[in-house]
Structure 1
Amino acid sequence: MKYDVLIKNGHVVFRDAVKKADLAIRDGKIAAIAEQINDAADQVVEAAGQYVLPGMIDAHVHICEPGRTEWEGFETGTKALAAGGTTTYVDMPLNALPATTTKEALALKLAAAAGNNYVDYALYGGLVPGNLENLQELSDAGVVGFKCFMATCGTDLPGDFKNVDDFTLYAGMKKIAELGHILLIHAENAEITDRLAEESIKQGKTTASDYVATRPVFTEVDAIKRAIFMAKETGCKLHFVHISSAAGVEEIIKARNEGLDVTLESCPHYFTITTEQFEEIGPLAKCSPPLRDEAEQEKLWEALKQGKIDMLTSDHSPCPPNMKHSDTNNIFEVWGGITGCQNNVDLMFDEAVLKRQVPVTQFAQMIATKPAERFHLGTKGEIAISKDADIILIDPDQSYVVKAENFYYRHKHSPYTNRTIHCRVTKTFLRGQLVFDLNEGIVGEPVGQFILPSLDGSRYAEPSHK
């Protein structure tokens, strides 16, 4: 029997175990797994000494096309994702213009995405004031969930994303529950954080630490509690994005233990950059919720080690360099968003698996298995027979320094520049096709497909979407 690809002698990371094994791929699927496979293959990949993992499913990415392609487009963004070990991502309904809050906006995004993605992709719809009547059509068009902001966001530009008011949040949860969907929430108390920021600026307190002080942990926890209360009233399933505090994690776990269908994610920057380091790095490390101090970061690490963090995501939110600059050194004036998806996997493998002995099986669950299950991407997320052959190789013995010239981003900046990472993604396969090789770079043309959710994950987009 002949296969398309044979990956030999790697440490294969399964759902509950790591075993030295060979993997055979045919027609984009994992066709055979055995201690040794001696059949012929068109391509044989030697993986001795490397970990073989399911590709990351990054459930939180901002590709700004259409409308703000000068920030990040599908081509550059997905090259970075592929190079970083991501094989599928879910695109947030912002920061494109128009935001993905109507079927017409979704159609524009799909048209822009077609033929320009190096990895597979799914889409979220947005919940914003005034679009309650659009939720059904977005669901029918194939979004895998809906996203809202409880924190202030957006601009006055037509079609830009806006944060929800309490009525929209409540009514939106009712409708999303009827649709059987999940609501993703950016949870921060808008009124308190906005007023604290105003007061800080008036007092001339405009440093990185001053910015962090205007978004204290309790404002995240307060918003989480209010969202949970409304979810219990409406029966809506929730997913909390980029949780930055252990206290926030505990509130979500408490609600889950009480029967609420709720999950959460956090991001590499909350585990690897502290407030003090934010001061040193500067605007490139500004995000919201903000980076926390070392003590708070250690609490979050403890929550991760205890298995309380369901998923790791990048929250890749890029922008042009001028938006990360203030002539007056006022941190409040610069764009808040981390450019980081190219270093998701190896950075956290280094910090979690190599340095803190988090089981590599747990790591694979966080980056791949749980996102696939939560967002109904059923052919993806683990190494098993008949699953999509979305596979990455990580060399745990290869250290490197993050350099701007190696970035695939449209704008080659990141808070991780000049950081040493003690492992490296060496190959990325998408449905059995090599899309990134450490020595060759990006391989071939864009082959990413638009993925529709389904109970068995078996259906891809209809040809009209490609």
Structure 2
Amino acid sequence: MSETLVIRSTRVALPDGVREAAVLVRDKRIADIAAYGAQLGAAADVDLGELALLPGLVDTHVHVNEPGRTEWEGFATATRAALAGGITTICDMPLNSVPATTSAAALRAKAAAAAGQCAVDVAFWGGAVPGNLGELSALLDAGAVGFKCFLIDSGLPEFAPLDRGELRAAMKAVAADGAPLIVHAEDPGEVTAPRGPGYDAFVASRPTVAERRAIETVVSAAAATGARAHIAHLAAGDCAALIGAAKAAGVLLSAETCPHYLFFAAEEVPDGRTEFKCCPPIRYAANREALWRALAAGVIDCVVSDHSPCAPALKDLAGGDFRTAFGGIASLQVGLPAVWSVAGRRGHSLADVARWMSAFPASLAGLPSKGRIAVGCDADLVAFDPVASFAVRGEDLLHRHPVTPYEGRTLTGRVSRVWLGGVEVDAAGPPRGRLLRRGGGEM
């Protein structure tokens, strides 16, 4: 007999809205969505009552650093933190491992490092760097879900930025396959060295015009080649009109922002708290409002973490100086409540959050069975209490170096239970995650 499970809730976040429903799971997938009280004859029946049922989150912007940089984040710790935060699939970025994931051989090495360690499902982005155009097709064949590139120095010599000509060539190379090219969009000609150690000086050194000029370059290249382009970690709300106009003109363009840009504002960053440092920077409150408007209007398509925790040793050496501190925001475990804490107050629904943090990221990564509570999709499900509150404490976080700007903040919404492929899982249990390729098959 097939393994069957029913999960009932008065608040199920379906693609068409939130309503009462019973979700039938059979053989790891969603087999039916019925009325809340329907008798479906399953072997196990879970009634969540007023706890919400969400699709497992899909986070397409996570920096895991194995192999070769074991002092940083690893697959075991990153995926445990993801699971605790209601994320059931992550997509790993290509630049922090040694070697960087810019060849099929490097992708196979990273997959070997991840095998058997992952608490959630994992897919991989390949890297587009100068000189590796001939590897892009092989990376897709090896399982990459798409590509990431920089238009500005990434800080890592092995992951150099593309110039305008190289960007257009990379887009031309991937256009036929339909795989997206994710772009870190800051123009190096508009970025300067900070004039002081404080956060205001750091923000001023990376102004919104740096994002605007880079996005103009991306739009031009995407329009010329027909490639699918995606703007990573949009921080400049005043770029929304540019992105919206490009979409309206038929350019295959999408954009993401991150929980920290929606939650924090530069006015709130305390002196010396370099765990707030990221590139592009967290900007001022008026900019945060513009990002929320763009997200509500559909100009920004999704919210993903850009989880990139810094090593405490480097943070300490920086001495609280934003000019020398290594940047990176850690939020895998708290991204969902951070977004919901603000979204709920602004009148958004859990269905909106599911679209931003589950459905669109799954589509971007070419994972059609992820990100939705719909018949035929993987039974990756999250029980979420939308009214519970808690204070963030670094000691409770499961990623390797629990340094986070959310320390001490009270957030609303708590992950209660998680199912991966219809099996209830928790961060203390054995790793059950699979390694996925574009299309959703296993590597």
Is 1:28 the counterpart of 2:18? The answer is: no
Post-superposition Cα deviations, 1:263-286, rounded to whole Å, max 9, x if no partner, equal 110000001111122235710010
Residue number in structure 2 paired with 1:231: 222
| Map 1:201-240 → 2, pairs under 5 A | 201=195, 205-240=196-231
Write out aligned runs for 1:301-320 (5 A): 301-320=292-311
* Alignment length (residue pairs): 442
Give, in whole Å, the separation in 2 of the partners of 1:65 and 1:423.
31
In structure 2, the residue matched to 1:427 is 417
The residue aligned with 2:429 is 444
Query: Which of these residues, 235, 240, 254, is aligned with residue 245 of structure 2?
Result: 254
What is the aligned partner in structure 1 of residue 442 from structure 2? 460
Q: How does 1:138-287 map to 2 (within 5 A)?
A: 138-156=139-157, 160-193=158-191, 196-197=192-193, 200-201=194-195, 205-280=196-271, 282-287=273-278
**Matches of 1:120 and 1:406 in 2, distance apart?**
22
Q: Report the counterpart of residue 130 of structure 1 in structure 2.
A: 131
Letter aligned with residue 391 of structure 1:
L
Confirm whether residue 12 of structure 1 aligns to residue 12 of structure 2: yes
Q: CA deviation at 1:449?
A: 0.7
Q: Which amino acid aligns with 1:460?
A: E
Letter aligned with residue 185 of structure 2 = A
Report if aligned partners of 2:274, 2:321 keep a CA contact under 8 Å in 1. Answer: no
Tell me if the contact between 1:369 and 1:381 (Cα under 8 Å) persists in the aligned partners. yes
How far apart, in 1, do the equivalents of 2:272 and 2:337 lie? 20
Give the distance between the partners of 1:31 and 1:329, measured in 2 at CA.
Answer: 53
C-alpha distance in structure 1 between counterparts of 2:400 and 2:87, whole Å: 17
Counterpart check, 1:401 vs 2:401:
no
User: What displacement does 1:147 show?
Assistant: 0.5
Spell out, residue by residue over 1:414-442, the C-alpha distance to the aligned partner (whole angstroms, 9 max, x if none). 11111101211111111111122xxxxx2
Cα offset, 1:41, TM superposition: 4.3
Matched, 1:368 2:358: yes
In structure 1, C-alpha distance between the alignment counterparts of 2:308 and 2:363, rounded to whole Å: 24
Instruction: Give the partner amino acid of 2:130.
Output: P
| Partners of 1:77 and 1:3 in 2: CA distance | 30
Residue type at the aligned position of 1:447: R
Q: Structure 2: which amino acid aligns with 1:380? A: K
Sort the Cα spacing of 1:316 and 1:176 in 2 relative to 1 into closer, same or farther, 3 A.
same
The CA deviation string for residues 161-183 of structure 1, in whole angstroms up to 9 with x for no partner, is 22112232121111111333211
> CA–CA distance in 1 between the matches of 2:320 and 2:9?
52
Name which of structure 1's ranges 376-385 and 274-283 shifts more when overlaid on structure 2. Answer: 274-283
Counterpart-to-counterpart distance in 1, 2:245 and 2:399: 39
In structure 2, runs of 5+ residues without a counterpart are none
CA distance in 1, matches of 2:68, 2:164: 29
Task: Give the structure-2-normalised TM-score.
Answer: 0.96
Cα distance in 2 for partners of 1:261, 1:129 equals 23
Cα deviation code 1:211-259 (max 9, x no counterpart): 0100011110110001111221222210111001222222111111001
Q: Distance in 2 between matches of 1:173 and 1:2?
A: 45
Q: Is the 8 A contact 2:76 2:117 kept in 1?
A: yes
Separation in 2 of the partners of 1:60 and 1:216? 23
User: What SS class does the counterpart of residue 377 from structure 1 fall into?
Assistant: coil
CA shift at 1:120, angstroms? 0.6
| Partners of 2:164 and 2:339 in 1: CA distance | 36
263-272 vs 30-39, greater mean Cα deviation: 30-39
Q: Distance in 2 between matches of 1:125 and 1:332?
A: 30
Confirm or deny that 1:118 pairs with 2:119: yes
> Which stretch shows the higher mean deviation, 1-10 or 263-272?
1-10
Distance 1:419 1:185, change over 3 A: same
Contact persistence 2:51–2:383 (CA under 8 A): yes
Aligned equivalents of 1:330 and 1:376: distance in 2?
Answer: 40
Name the SS of the counterpart of 2:148 in structure 1.
strand
C-alpha distance in 1 between matches for 2:175 and 2:40: 49
Quick one: which amino acid aligns to residue 13 of structure 1?
Answer: A
Q: Aligned AA for 2:400?
A: R
Distance in 2 of aligned mates of 1:80 and 1:311 = 20
Kindly state the Cα deviation for residue 39 of structure 1 after the two structures are TM-superposed: 4.4
The answer to whether the Cα contact below 8 Å between 1:209 and 1:279 also exists between their aligned partners in 2 is no
Gaps of 5+ in 1: 437-441, 462-466
Q: Which amino acid aligns with 1:84?
A: G
1:439 alignment counterpart: none
Distance 1:43 1:333 in 2: 55
Task: From the superposition, tell whether residues 325 and 192 of structure 1 become closer, same or farther in structure 2 (CA, over 3 Å).
Answer: farther
In 1, the alpha carbon distance for the partners of 2:269 and 2:161 equals: 26
- How far did 1:3 drift? 4.9
For residue 92 of structure 1, what is the aligned residue in structure 2?
A: 93
- What SS does the corresponding residue of 2:334 show, helix, strand or coil? helix
Of the three residues 334, 343, 348, the one matched with 1:358 is 348
- Matched residue of 2:149: which SS? strand
C-alpha separation between the residues in 2 aligned to 1:284 and 1:30? Answer: 40
The SS at the match of 1:325 is helix
* Structure 1 residues 396 and 412: CA distance shift in structure 2, 3 A: same
Q: Let me know the Cα RMSD of the aligned residues.
A: 1.7
Shift of 1:40: 5.0
